[in-house]
Amino acid sequence: MNKIVVLNHKMNLLYSDIYDYIDKLNNIETKEDIIVAPSDLYLIEFTNTCNWGVASQNVYYEEKGGYTGEISTLQLKDIGVEYSIVGHSDRRKYFSETVEDINLKLKSLLDSNIIPILCFGEKDEDDDVDTVISELKEMLEGIDNISFIMFAYEPTYMIGGKKEVDVDKYSHMISDIKVYLTNNYHGNVNMLYGGNVNKDNVYDIINDDNIDGVMIGELSSNIDNVIEIFKNIDREVQ
């Protein structure tokens, strides 16, 4: 099974940069699946010219209305967006997004046949798996089938940091969460890891049996970084 690499640009790249980025991204040869999440401003350019999957970084749960500055599932669908990131810690930190908001967005995306990339994970290193599962359960309130949700496990304290990724630790955490989801919901579980993923650690992370892919943040807005990352993902070990 192919692994998944999500490239979350956050609030980066200028319009003058994107066609060079797309051209070089289109020319990456890899056995893995790529999903790129540019700023909303550039979504239509990516859906029109990028050969890989395209995700929005956010969505609103109402289909239309007087919600200035928001973007709806109908608008995303109309320009060919297939995925949408939900619940990212940046949204929760800077925009006070709640668990209830996340739940409504999940339901709206599923109703519109857009695949949510649901971000979740502990805030502190001392939090255990039960704490993570408790919040995840709230996010999934009223949702029975999780086959069309892509899960992205991202410990908040690892995002944008310099800490070394303990692959074994997070592999076990992901395994426990997968067991919970499999036992309590219908459908298969795909789970990515996010948090300080870079060219030096991506090979070990993505080749762990419990991890179905990675989410890479601000680093991914630089196409040269992306090229180096894929060189390491697809390298042959002697």
Active site (catalytic) residues: 88, 154
Q: How far apart are CA 178 and CA 210, in angstroms?
A: 9
Partnered with residue 29 across adjacent β-strands are none
d(CA 92, CA 167): 25
Cα gap 217→119, rounded to integer Å = 12
- Nearest of 237, 220, 228, 232 to residue 52 by alpha carbon: 220
How far is it, in rounded angstroms, from Cα 38 to Cα 201? 23
Give the separation between CA 46 and CA 183, rounded to whole angstroms.
37
> Token digits for 181?
């989801």
Q: Which amino acid is at 235?
A: R
Virtual torsion, Cα 33, 39, 44, 47, nearest 10 deg: 0
* Element containing residue 105 per DSSP (H, E): helix 99-111
Q: What is the longest distance spanned by two Cα atoms in the chain?
A: 58
Rg over alpha carbons for the chain, rounded to the nearest Å, is: 17
Question: Residue 174: phi, psi to the nearest 5?
Answer: -65, -40
